[in-house]
Structure 1
Amino acid sequence: MHAYDYAVIRVVPRVERGEFVNAGVVLSCKAGGFLEARIELDEARLRALDPGVDLDAVRAHLAAFAAICAGGDEAGPIGRLPARERFRWLVAPRSTVIQTSPVHSGRCDDHATMLERLLDSMVRAPARRNPGT
């Protein structure tokens, strides 16, 4: 079992209103060398909050989140940082269209499975959840 930290990735289409749609989860485990973000944006739910939202911009920002987790030169200067520093940068508080929840911690032995469970419980609408989980 390894300790992990995670945060829910949120899209806040109109920051002044503070309404958001959960769009993904980022999970980090220093001991397991794991850093990954999985995104599942429900565009209909987002449009319900703001019919004029720029979906192309939102998609690009969310894709950048996943790219930074993957690391490397393609992710720019942040992508060259160690994984734990990239996680801290991603979950830092901000007042932008893409935000994260506070960081939460847990313990597990399979980070990919835990990431999937977090998506089920925090991001996916009940009708879209995977059966049997």
Structure 2
Amino acid sequence: MIFSLTLLAVSLHTAAIEELCPWPESGSQQQRYHQQLSCYDRELVKARRSLAQWEQHHTFVLQQHSQRTGRPAAFNSFKSAQETFAQLKEQHCRWQYQLQLPDVQQGAAYYKRCQLQLIKQRTEQLESLAAR
């Protein structure tokens, strides 16, 4: 059940990202890749900024909780989860890039799309936790 929900979430993120940065209809193949990769870069900047804001929010809340209760376990776990997410994101997207080689442009598109999917998913998780 959880696996099915995860696949559904990834599928929804993929569709949303395809809508954000559709394949350009005009220009040479090289120009199209350049336009799409530029779009992914712009979206990655926005997504990373949003993720950083939610991470800062949770860091602040957890620091306050730690100071109030004298128990830093939740804060320490959150910081560890941030590091783990960064490693997972890099490794998960790297193998998708490598799978596309020797087509470097296609690999770059897969890598950036993967980064966007994971960052958006993590941001949504942090945002929903803040609503509790």
TM norm structure 1 = 0.33
Structure of greater Rg: 2
TM norm structure 2 = 0.33
Name the structure with the higher strand share. 1
